[in-house]
Amino acid sequence: MATRSDQVPFLFRPVRGGRLLKHLLLIGFGLIMLYPLLWMISSSVKPEDIIFREPGLWPSTVTLDNYSEGWTALKHSFGYYLWNSAVITGLSVLANLIACSLAAYAFARLNFPLKKMWFAIMLGTIMLPYHVTVVPQYIVFANLDWINTIWPLVVPKFLATDAFFIFLMVQFIRTLPRELDEAAAIDGAGYWRVFLQVILPLCMPALATTGIFTFIWTWNDFFSQNLYLTNSDNLTVAVALRQFLDSSGESSWGPMFAMSIVSLGPIFGFFLAGQKYLIRGVATTGLK
Amino acid sequence: MSESISVTPERPPAAPPAGVQPSGRRRRATPVNIHRRREARAAYVFLAPWFIGLFLVTVGPMLASLYLSFTDYSLLEEARWIGWDNYEKMFFEDTRFIQSLKVTTIYVVVSVPLQLIFALALALALDRGLRGLSFYRSIYYLPSLLGGSVAIAILWRKIFGTDGLVNSVLGFFGIEGTGWVSDPETALGTLILLHVWTFGAPMVIFLAGLRQIPQSYYEAAAVDGASKIRQFWSITMPLLTPIIFFNLVLEVIKSFQSFTQSFIVSGGTGGPVDSTLFYTLYLYLKGFKSYEMGYAAAMAWVLLLIIAGLTGVNFLASKYWVFYGDSK
């Protein structure tokens, strides 16, 4: 059944009666689920005064005023906050890719004393609530004068503190045949060459999953960005949106919806581009 | 690893140059041991960032936070040792703390099972040869990615506001709604709904689990005349219990620490009348708004114990309902 109709886009394939009902139900349910999102998108292009008079999706008047108004509503233009978020997110992705793959290679391939104990500790830190360490961390970062800099958000990532990704990559590296390492070792490659030239290139799927999830989590992160970035000159998108909410009160929802859409854009982009890795990552490790 | 080494013939330990050197040193210098030591050294280099992070960012602060939990500390003055006072205050005097515990418990107990039921139901509906599976999967999964963002929390606040989308839809049917987020009776409900909305992630995990069940089981059952319902309860459910368990543990831990949603929807207060005062939100207010950092540290340790306890209970209870193959 699947092979015959593979060439035709699935919406246009002939469907049997009972199945048709099922598809209608599934599509209807999907629409209800996505309705809030679609409504936000359509509201962002409606003039302010009709947003709440029209629960429908199709705007009777289309305007981009909300976007231009929202873009400049705060102290800096919204592009400024997007850039701040991009810097923190980019560095976090880089940090997780480097630090977690290094640790994962050691756990998956090398032998060293007390390896089992360290591995168990690493697994334990995955479940550890962030809040248990945040108070002393804040005190230390305050003493280092790091409040209102990006360092509290980025430096820990270079120290492989997102242990979930170590676990993800360990699981992945364990599925790679050991003969590859051994062949390279016989050819005279040291541990670094094995890691850089054999393991890492084969790890691309796991690295992609790590990168995409780090991107989405860091972009969405509100707790720590709200904690460490309080100066109006270095806000990220998440914190800026919150300021927007505070300053505009209950009045200007159009511009806020517009900027909310803008803030979700990169996540949506990564979702479209990296679906395969996202789904596989969730299915194999239970990531969010 | 040892195969590649055995190519080099080992020096027979039986014939050391008699008495010249202490035998211990000689024994350690065999190629195998040199190799082992070199491998361990390499491992430590690869693990160096992680070790530093473990001690400086995780274990150190954890212990510091344990110490702080027995002190009165406000970032400006020295920490003052006060013994168990923070903990006593929490459980016997601080009604807001009890409220936050209550709110979070209701949130977890209601939203997690609901979310998992939706996830399982949709996974079953999508399973096995349904056309457009990946399309539906993506649609349903998308809210899981967006659900934690500030933008969605803002949207939620507006959808359930007095003049929000929900009320205008209800008004269309002639029903008069309420201010869902400003009414203490319903505010928590809107957050529960937001959590249920993100059922896509556990659904994907269920789908992966369903795919592991061999089709032949169902064929054999059908030959024996088992109905679809019987097949579900006798094959699908038992084989899926490990996955249900996994999702349950994961979602309980995660939802107990929810923060952004209640912070944004309640405007950072946990209101109305503390009806959405999540545990972590109260911790944040205590530690970083009123700078009672000792108290916040104590709350963090109680949170750690609660989460460890819940996970432990889950694991103990799993003996009675999780089915792991034919081991029994």
Q: Tens digit of pLDDT for each residue in A233-267? A: 999 999 999 988 887 665 678 888 999 999 999 99
Residue A285's pLDDT is 66
Residue A286's pLDDT is 62
Coil, helix or strand at residue B224:
coil
Chain B: nearest CA to A13, how far in angstroms? Answer: 9
Residue of chain B whose alpha carbon sits nearest to that of A121: B54
Q: Is A103 on the interface with B (CB under 8 A)?
A: yes
Residue A250's pLDDT is 59
Residues B86 and B298: beta-carbon distance below 8 Å: yes
**CATH for B86-321, options being 1.10.1670.10, 1.10.3720.10, 3.20.20.140, 1.20.140.10:** 1.10.3720.10
Residue B6's pLDDT is 37
Q: What type of residue is A273?
A: A
Residue B49's pLDDT is 97
Average pLDDT over residues A100-120: 95
Residues A229 and A148: beta-carbon distance below 8 Å: yes
Q: Tell me which of B28 and B224 has the higher pLDDT.
A: B224
| Residue in A126, A92, A96, A122 with CA at minimum distance from that of residue A224 | A92
Strands (E), chain B: 71-72, 80-81
- The angle that helices B187-197 and B95-126 make with each other, rounded to 10 degrees, is 30
Average pLDDT over residues A104-117: 95
Q: Which of A27, A32, A135 is most worth mutating to test chain B (most B CB atoms within 10 A of its CB)?
A: A135
Among the ranges given (A87-91, A215-219, B205-209), the one the predictor scored with the smallest mean pLDDT: B205-209
A263 vs B151: CB contact, 8 Å cut-off? yes
DSSP string, A169-225: HHHHHHTS-HHHHHHHHHTT--HHHIIIIIIHHHTHHHHHHHHHHHHHHHHH--HHH
State how far the alpha carbon of B185 is from the alpha carbons of B120, B161, B169, B189, in Å: 29, 14, 20, 8
Q: pTM here?
A: 0.87
The CA R_g of chain B, rounded to the nearest whole Å, is 28
- Report the CATH fold assignment for A78-285: MetI-like fold (1.10.3720)
pLDDT at B246 over 90: no
pLDDT at A21 over 90: no
Number of H helices, E strands in chain B: 17, 2
CA triplet B223, B225, B228: central angle to 5 degrees? 105
What phi-psi label fits residue A286: left (phi over 0), alpha (psi between -120 and 50 degrees) or beta? left
Chain A and chain B share a number of CB contacts under 8 A equal to 267
User: Which pLDDT tens digit goes with each residue over B189-209?
Assistant: 999 999 999 999 999 999 988
How far, rounded to the nearest angstrom, does the alpha carbon of residue B10 sit from its chain's CA centroid? 50
Q: Tell me which of B128 and A286 has the higher pLDDT.
A: B128
Q: Which long-range contacts (CB under 8 A, 24 or more apart) does B94-101 make?
A: B96/B274, B96/B277, B96/B282, B97/B282, B97/B299, B99/B274, B99/B277, B100/B270, B100/B274, B100/B277, B100/B278, B100/B279, B100/B281, B100/B282, B101/B279
User: Which pLDDT tens digit goes with each residue over B43-97?
Assistant: 999 999 999 999 999 999 999 999 999 999 998 888 999 999 999 999 999 999 9
Set of chain B residues whose Cβ sits within 8 Å of the Cβ of A283 = 204-205, 207-208
Q: What share of chain B in percent tops pLDDT 70?
A: 90
Q: Which residue ranges make up each domain of chain B?
A: 2-68, 86-321
User: Which pLDDT tens digit goes with each residue over A124-139?
Assistant: 998 899 999 999 999 9
Q: Is B47 on the interface with A (CB under 8 A)?
A: yes
Q: Is B263 on the interface with A (CB under 8 A)?
A: yes
User: Which pLDDT tens digit goes with each residue over A42-61?
Assistant: 989 988 777 766 677 788 78
Q: CA B63, CA B141: separation in Å to the nearest integer? A: 38
Which residue matches tokens 């873009």?
Answer: A71
Q: CA A258, CA A67: separation in Å to the nearest integer? A: 5
Residue B193's pLDDT is 95
Q: Which residue ranges make up each domain of chain A?
A: 78-285
B165 vs A55: CB contact, 8 Å cut-off? yes
Chain A: nearest CA to B39, how far in angstroms? Answer: 6
Set of chain B residues whose Cβ sits within 8 Å of the Cβ of A160 = 49-50, 53
Closest by Cβ to B205, choosing from A112, A186, A283: A283
Average pLDDT over residues A100-116: 95
Maximal C-alpha separation, chain A: 73
Chain A segment 63-82 residues within 8 A of B by beta carbon are none
What phi-psi label fits residue A148: left (phi over 0), alpha (psi between -120 and 50 degrees) or beta? left
A106 vs B56: CB contact, 8 Å cut-off? no
Average pLDDT over residues A153-159: 96
pLDDT at A2 over 70: no
Residue B77's pLDDT is 85
Residue B177's pLDDT is 79
Q: Is A247 on the interface with B (CB under 8 A)?
A: no
Q: Which of B4, B51, B58 is most worth mutating to test chain A (most A CB atoms within 10 A of its CB)?
A: B58
B57 vs A127: CB contact, 8 Å cut-off? no
For residue B14, name the pLDDT band (cuts at 50, 70, 90). Answer: very low
Set of chain A residues whose Cβ sits within 8 Å of the Cβ of B138 = 271, 275, 279
Residue B320's pLDDT is 85
Contacts of residue A195, Cβ cutoff 8 Å, sequence gap at least 6 = A102, A105, B46
Chain B segment 108-137 residues within 8 A of A by beta carbon are 122, 125-126, 129-132, 134-137
Residue A18's pLDDT is 75
Contacts of residue A48, Cβ cutoff 8 Å, sequence gap at least 6 = A66, A252, A253, A254
Residue B326's pLDDT is 54
Report chain B's mean pLDDT, rounded to a whole number.
87
Q: What is the DSSP letter of B58?
A: I
Q: Is B283 on the interface with A (CB under 8 A)?
A: yes
User: Which pLDDT tens digit goes with each residue over B108-133?
Assistant: 999 999 999 999 999 998 877 778 88
